[in-house]
Amino acid sequence: MPKSIIRTYSRYSRDAVALLGALIREARNERKLTAQELADRAGISRGLLQRIEKGNLKCEIGVVFEVATIIGIKLFDTDENALTKHLGRTKEKLALLPKSVRKKSIPVHDDF
Amino acid sequence: MPKSIIRTYSRYSRDAVALLGALIREARNERKLTAQELADRAGISRGLLQRIEKGNLKCEIGVVFEVATIIGIKLFDTDENALTKHLGRTKEKLALLPKSVRKKSIPVHDDF
DNA sequence: ATCCTTTGATTTATATAAAGATCATTAAGC
DNA sequence: GCTTAATGATCTTTATATAAATCAAAGGAT
């Protein structure tokens, strides 16, 4: 990440990450697990779990999802296996779509 | 990240990230945007967008969510503003819960 | 009220993610 | 079939996320 990149995030994105972190903390408390215990189960440091629960935007998505999964939070869908099914359907659809997007060289006469 | 940490991810987590990436690519194609264009709108490099669409687990969650948001993918819920409402409710609940989890010093006689 | 576990915050060292550039490959549009 | 834009892949540099350790503060349990 060269030359000090400044990132901006929409409110929606910030809320989404914050929500996920709050859900994790809530679930952890309900299950009576300490931060250290959950961190150990996820194979991460307690400090990182702190940042995740706080809704830090710079955490690796894989780690955040893994913690959520371990603590029992269903991502995207509530019913079982819905995610996998959805993934399958999406991949099938992708195979039928154009492999690349191409701009029209000349502005088309979009008449009608 | 000292001493070369090896991370493991559950299939569910990997699928979830892969799904999100696939959804982003699908939406991008439907909207006839090039990778460079979407990357520019998100303020990231094309290379990073490639990794996101490929379902790379090491990308920052904030960036992934931001791209998803920009391209119009609703996170967690389908109906409008559901996320924010959910966040609000969760935060209220958190205020009522114990601030820390504590292990029983002596194994309790869990009799019944 | 006291004890001590849990959590919050900070610091340092290090592994690595991301930007930017470049080249090869693919495939849309003509 | 050509052309060339779009994508895929790789390399280097640099900023930074993370692990680990430490200390302070908070708050259950007794």
Distance from residue B103's CA to nucleotide C4's C1', rounded to whole Å: 11
Distance from residue B12's CA to nucleotide C2's C1', rounded to whole Å: 46
Sign of CA dihedral B34, B37, B43, B47: positive
Q: What is the pLDDT of residues A82-94, one digit of tens each?
A: 445 555 565 566 5
- Higher-confidence residue: A1 or A56? A56
As given in the structure block, the two tokens for residue B94 are 């958190």
- The verdict on a CB contact (< 8 Å) between A66 and B10 is yes
Residue among A43, A110, A2, A93 nearest B25 (CA): A93
SS3 A108: coil
Report if CB B5 to strand C is under 7 Å: yes
Report if CB A63 to strand C is under 7 Å: no
**Please, is B59 exposed, middle or buried when counting C-beta atoms within 10 Å of its C-beta (0-12, 13-18, 19+)?**
buried
Task: Mark the nucleotides of strand C covered by protein, meaning any atom under 7 Å from a CB.
Answer: 5-11, 13-21, 26-30
Distance from first CA to last CA of chain A, Å, rounded? 47
CA distance A83 to A68: 14
| Per-residue pLDDT in tens (0 to 9) along chain B, 112 residues | 776 778 999 998 998 999 899 989 989 999 999 999 999 999 999 999 999 999 999 999 999 999 999 999 878 654 444 445 555 555 555 556 667 777 765 554 444 4
Q: How far is CA B68 from CA A36, A37, B72, in A?
A: 31, 32, 6
- Shortest distance, CA B51 to any CA of chain A (angstroms): 12
Residue among B12, B66, B63 nearest A60 (CA): B63
- The verdict on a CB contact (< 8 Å) between B63 and A7 is yes
Half-sphere exposure of A55 (CA within 13 A, CB side): 17
- The verdict on a CB contact (< 8 Å) between B62 and A10 is no
Radius of gyration, alpha carbons of chain A: 20
pLDDT of residue B64: 97
Q: Do residues A61 and B48 make contact, with C-beta atoms less than 8 angstroms apart?
A: no
Nearest residue of chain B to residue A32 (CA atoms): B101
- The verdict on a CB contact (< 8 Å) between B57 and A62 is yes
